[in-house]
Amino acid sequence: MANSPEPKPPCHAEVSVEVEAGAHEVWNAVVNWDIQSTWMLFTKVWPTENNGEGIGGKIAARTGIGPVGFIDDMVITHWEPPLRCRVEHLGKIVRGTGDFIVAPMAAGTRFTWAEDVIPPFGRFGVAAWPAVRPVFELMMRISVARLAARVTPK
């Protein structure tokens, strides 16, 4: 029997974009935490340990609008430049894992951002996920489009 892909957890969100730039350029833009807020909606990210690089490196993000928001502390659990970075969300509001995947193509690069979310509020949060997911993925799609525009040569 052939290996089938592992099923996605019920609270999974994922978006991809094709970028007219090389994998290294995309990777450098994705993991430059200090400039991530130029493309990621409503989020400011900064390294907190080990420059936010390598397994065990840490970053934090404030997501919100104006005074309403929360801090998301993360630890890097997979670091494979220029192809993949996985973080574990350690906060009380956001938990789960996030992946940035950079896949070289014949002409350019495919960038995928995936989140496996453990929503707050237990079973209520899981039950609400089908309503939350489209809004969450829309924000992700806008963000990755902004990333693509930022790294595409003019």
133 and 125 Cβ atoms separated by less than 8 Å: no
The answer for residues whose C-beta is within 8 angstroms of residue 2's C-beta and 6 or more apart is none
| Each residue's pLDDT tens digit, 44-87 | 999 999 999 999 999 999 999 999 999 999 999 999 999 999 99
Task: Determine the pLDDT at residue 45.
Answer: 96
Tell me: pLDDT of 114 over 90.
yes
| Percent of the chain scoring above 70 in pLDDT | 94
Kindly give, in sequence order, each residue whose CB lies less than 8 Å from that of residue 45, ignoring residues fewer than 6 positions away.
Answer: 33, 34, 36, 37, 59, 60, 61
Residue 4: the pLDDT is 54
Instruction: Examine the pLDDT at 7 and tell me if it is beyond 60.
Output: no
**Percent of the chain beyond pLDDT 90?**
86
* pLDDT, position 120: 86
Chain center to CA of 135: 15
12-151 domain in CATH 3.40.50.1820? no
